[in-house]
Chain A
Amino acid sequence: MNLMKPIHLLLAATLISTPVLAQTPAERGLEISKEAKARDLGWDDMQANMLMVLRNKQGETSTREIRMKSLEQLDDGDKSLTVFDKPRDVKGTAFLSFSHPVGADDQWLYLPALKRVKRISSRNKSGPFMGSEFAYEDLSSFEIEKYTYNYLRDEACEGGQCFVVEQFPVDKNSGYTRRIVWLDQSEYRVWKVEFYDRKDSLLKTLTFDGYQQYLDKYWRADKQQMTNHQNGKSTDLEFSGYRFRTGLTDGDFNKNSLKRAR
C-alpha cells in the first residue's frame, strides 16, 4: 500500500504535464524525437560550407574546409555529397553517401589524384572524421529508427526550457552506449548532446550556438563545438552559406557528380 502512493503521485504529475495517458519514459522520449524530426521535414535540398577547426591539448589548431550538399528522401535516409577543399593535399576528394535509417549506408569516395571512385565500407561509424573529434556517426542525418529513447526530465538550458532525452543507438557498431540530448520545448532545437562511450563513461559534449531559421521553418546552428573530455581535444564547426531548395535532384548525387564535385 505504501508503494502505491508515489506511483499515484507520479501518474498525477504526468497527467498534468501532458495530455497523453500513462505514457512511459520510452514513449515520451520517442514522441519528443518524432516531433523534432517532423519539424525538420520538407526542406527538400540543402547546401552549406563547413569550416572545421581542430584543437589539440596544447591549443594548436588545424583547419579543414568542406562543402556539403544534401537531398532529402521521403522514404529513406538522405543523400549527401561532401567535398574537401582543405587541407590542400586532399583538395577535390569527395564523399557520396546514401544513408539508410536501418542497415548499412552506401558510400563512395572519389580520389582525385587517381581519378578513382572507391566504394567503401560504412561499417566505420565510430571512427574520427578527418582526424577531428566528430565521429562519422555524429555527422550523419538524424533518423528515428537509429535509436531507442528514454525521456529523463525537463530542465533549463541555453535555449530556454529543454526536454532531456536519452538515446540508445540501435546499431551495434556505434561507438556509444547512449547519448543524452537537450532539446528546447518551443522549437525542438538541439542545444547539447553528451556522448557516453562503450564503457558508459562521458566521452564528449557537443554544444550548439547561433541558431538561424531558414525558409521560416528550419533551424540551423552556425556553430557547433565538440569537446572530448578524455583526450582534451576539441573541434569547432562553423557553418556558412546555408541554402535551401536550390533545385538539387538525384542526378546531383551519383558517381558522375561525385567525380566532378571538386
Chain B
Amino acid sequence: MKPGVTLLGAMALSTGITAYTDKAVAEEVFFEASGKVTGELRGYLDEGQFSGQDYRSGISATVEPEFFWEWNNGDDTFTFTPFYRIDQHDDERTHGDIRELSWVHVGDDWELRTGIRKVFWGVTEFNHLVDVINQTDAVEDADGEDKLGQPMVNLSLVRDWGIVDLFLLPGFRERTFAGEEGRLRSGLVVDTDAARYTDDAGEHNLDTAVRWSQSYDLFDVGLYWFRGVNRDPRFEAASNGGNTVLVPVYDHINQIGFDGQATIDSWLWKMELLWRESDLEQYSAAQAGVEYTFYGIQDSDTDLGVLVEYGWDERGKDAASAFQNDLSLGARITLNDEASTEFLAGFGYDLDYDSQSLFMEASSRFGESMKISLDARFFNAGDKQDPIVNFEQDDLIQLTAEYYF
C-alpha cells in the first residue's frame, strides 16, 4: 500500500472520530455548580447617632451559589444564582434575592436573554450615573455597586454599526434600605413597606429600554433611552404608628443616557451624561474624568493608577444625588503578584457642602479559593444640610473573607 493512501485513510478515520465527538458534545447537557460564601466583620469607630445603632461591631454572612447548564453546543445556557445574607443587627440587611434565573439563546447575529438578570452600563468609577436597568441593593454596601436581579426580555442584535439591545422589563424592584438597627442610614428610617408609585401601573409597569453601543478605534460609546419607573426614589415624610418615617416614592420617567470612553495609550478618558424627565422635574447630570496608569513603577511589576472624576447635577443642592457638585480622587495599586494583591483608595470632596469621604480597600488571594479584603470608610460632613451628615458616626473598618467553591 502506498504510504500516501495510508495517511489519507488515517485522516479520514480521525476526521470521522472528530465529527462523532462533536455531535456527542452537541447533544450533551453540561452542568456546573459553583459559587461563594462570605463572612464579614465590621467595626465602627463610634456608636451610631440614631436609636437602634448603639453597637460598635457586627457580623454578617452571605451565600451565593451558581447553577449553570449549557446545551446545544453552548447556544443555549441556563443560569440560577440565588443569594442570601444574614446580618447580626439589621433585619432589613438580612435578605435574599434571585440575582439570576435566566435562559440565553444565541443565534448567528442575535441573542435572546430571558429571565432575571443583571446588566451594567457605564464607564466611570466613583458614580454609576447611567447604569439604570437594575435596582441598587443598597443594604449590601455603601458604594451602590450591588444590584437586585431584574426580570427582563432582552433581544441583542449585532450589526456592523453596533450592538442594539432591546429591553422589556416587567416587574419593578424596590430599593433596599437599612432598617432601624442598621448603620449607614438616614435619621428617619425608610419604610419600604409603604413605598408609593405616582404612576397608576405602579410596580407592574412594563418598563422599556433601547441601547446602542459601538467601538470606533480608540473610542467606545453607548447611547440609550429608558422609559419606566425611576430606580432612584424620592422621599416623603409620613407617620407610621406615631413614628415619623420616610416613604420612598417612585416616579415615572423618561431618560436618555450616554457613556463614552477614549482609550489613548495609558490614558482613559471617561464621560457619562444623563437627561431625565418626570412629571415633577427635568434635569441633566454628568460624571466625567480621567484615569492614568503608571505601568511597572520603578522597574517593578507594580502598576499605579490615578483617577480624577467630577460629578455634576443641574439641580445643585436640590439634587437627590450625592454627586451633584463633587470632585473624586482615586489611586489603585496593583502588585500583579501571584495573589493578585490590590490596594484602592478614594477621596470624595463635595464642593457645595465642603464634605469629605474617604475609602480604602485592600484585597489579596489566599490559597486557591480564598480572597480576603480589608475595607475602611470615613465620612465627614462640612454642612448639616449635606445628607452625608447621617453617616458621620458610621466610620467603619470591614474585614471580608470570601470562599469560592
A residues in contact (CB < 8 Å) with B: 54, 56, 62-63, 86-91, 104, 106, 114-121, 123-124, 126-128, 130-131, 173, 175, 198, 216, 251, 254-256, 260, 262
Nearest-CB distance from B322 to chain A (Å)?
19
A115 to B128, CA, bound (A): 13
A19 to B106, CA, bound (A): 54
* Structural contact, B303 and A124, CB atoms closer than 8 A: yes
**Interfacial chain B residues near A120, Cβ < 8 Å:** 263
* Structural contact, B337 and A87, CB atoms closer than 8 A: no
* Structural contact, A127 and B402, CB atoms closer than 8 A: no
- Judged by a CB distance under 8 angstroms, whether B119 is at the interface is yes
Nearest-CB distance from A52 to chain B (Å)?
11
Of the candidate stretches B89-97, B182-190, B230-238, B293-301, the one touching chain A is B293-301
A62 to B337, CA, bound (A): 12
- Judged by a CB distance under 8 angstroms, whether B388 is at the interface is no
Q: How big is the B interface, by class? A: 35 or more
Return the 6 tightest CB-CB contacts between A and B, nearest first: A88-B404, A131-B338, A116-B120, A115-B120, A124-B295, A89-B371
Nearest-CB distance from B128 to chain A (Å)?
9
Nearest-CB distance from A170 to chain B (Å)?
16
Most chain B CB within a 10 A radius of its CB, from A62, A88, A262: A88
**Interfacial chain A residues near B301, Cβ < 8 Å:** 127-128
A-B contact pairs, 30 of them (CB 8 A): A63-B368, A87-B365, A87-B404, A88-B405, A104-B265, A106-B215, A115-B118, A115-B119, A116-B120, A119-B261, A119-B268, A121-B268, A123-B293, A123-B295, A124-B295, A124-B296, A124-B303, A126-B296, A127-B336, A128-B336, A131-B337, A173-B295, A198-B299, A216-B11, A251-B158, A255-B213, A256-B156, A256-B163, A260-B104, A260-B111
A251 to B339, CA, bound (A): 34
Q: Which of B34, B123, B263 contacts A91 (CB 8 A)?
A: B34
**Interfacial chain A residues near B402, Cβ < 8 Å:** 89
Most chain B CB within a 10 A radius of its CB, from A91, A126, A256: A256
* Structural contact, B338 and A54, CB atoms closer than 8 A: yes
Once A123-B293, A124-B303, A216-B11 are accepted as A-B contacts, the answer to whether A251 and B109 lie under 8 Å apart by CB is yes
* Structural contact, A89 and B404, CB atoms closer than 8 A: yes
Nearest-CB distance from B41 to chain A (Å)?
19
Once A56-B338, A251-B158, A254-B158 are accepted as A-B contacts, the answer to whether A91 and B106 lie under 8 Å apart by CB is no
**Interfacial chain B residues near A131, Cβ < 8 Å:** 336-340
A77 to B119, CA, bound (A): 31
Nearest-CB distance from B68 to chain A (Å)?
8
A198 to B336, CA, bound (A): 19
* Structural contact, B338 and A62, CB atoms closer than 8 A: yes
- Determine the residue in chain A with the shortest Cβ distance to B165: A256
* Structural contact, B111 and A62, CB atoms closer than 8 A: no
**Interfacial chain B residues near A173, Cβ < 8 Å:** 295
The A/B interface has a contact count, at CB < 8 Å, of: 97
Interface residues of B in 336-356 (CB under 8 A from A): 336-340
- Judged by a CB distance under 8 angstroms, whether B193 is at the interface is no
* Structural contact, A121 and B336, CB atoms closer than 8 A: no
Once A89-B371, A127-B301, A260-B77 are accepted as A-B contacts, the answer to whether A255 and B163 lie under 8 Å apart by CB is yes
A86 to B77, CA, bound (A): 21
**Interfacial chain B residues near A86, Cβ < 8 Å:** 368
Interface residues of B in 69-114 (CB under 8 A from A): 77, 104, 106, 108-109, 111
- Judged by a CB distance under 8 angstroms, whether B49 is at the interface is no
A126 to B119, CA, bound (A): 33
A256 to B106, CA, bound (A): 10
* Structural contact, A126 and B295, CB atoms closer than 8 A: yes
Nearest-CB distance from A131 to chain B (Å)?
4
* Structural contact, B368 and A62, CB atoms closer than 8 A: yes
- Determine the residue in chain B with the shortest Cβ distance to A132: B338
Once A114-B120, A115-B119, A255-B213 are accepted as A-B contacts, the answer to whether A88 and B268 lie under 8 Å apart by CB is no
* Structural contact, A256 and B158, CB atoms closer than 8 A: yes
A86 to B286, CA, bound (A): 38
* Structural contact, A124 and B293, CB atoms closer than 8 A: yes
A63 to B120, CA, bound (A): 30
Nearest-CB distance from A176 to chain B (Å)?
13
A119 to B291, CA, bound (A): 12
Nearest-CB distance from B233 to chain A (Å)?
23
Nearest-CB distance from B399 to chain A (Å)?
16
Q: Which of B68, B220, B295 contacts A127 (CB 8 A)?
A: B295
Once A115-B118, A131-B338 are accepted as A-B contacts, the answer to whether A121 and B263 lie under 8 Å apart by CB is yes
* Structural contact, B145 and A114, CB atoms closer than 8 A: yes
- Judged by a CB distance under 8 angstroms, whether B243 is at the interface is no
**Interfacial chain A residues near B108, Cβ < 8 Å:** 251
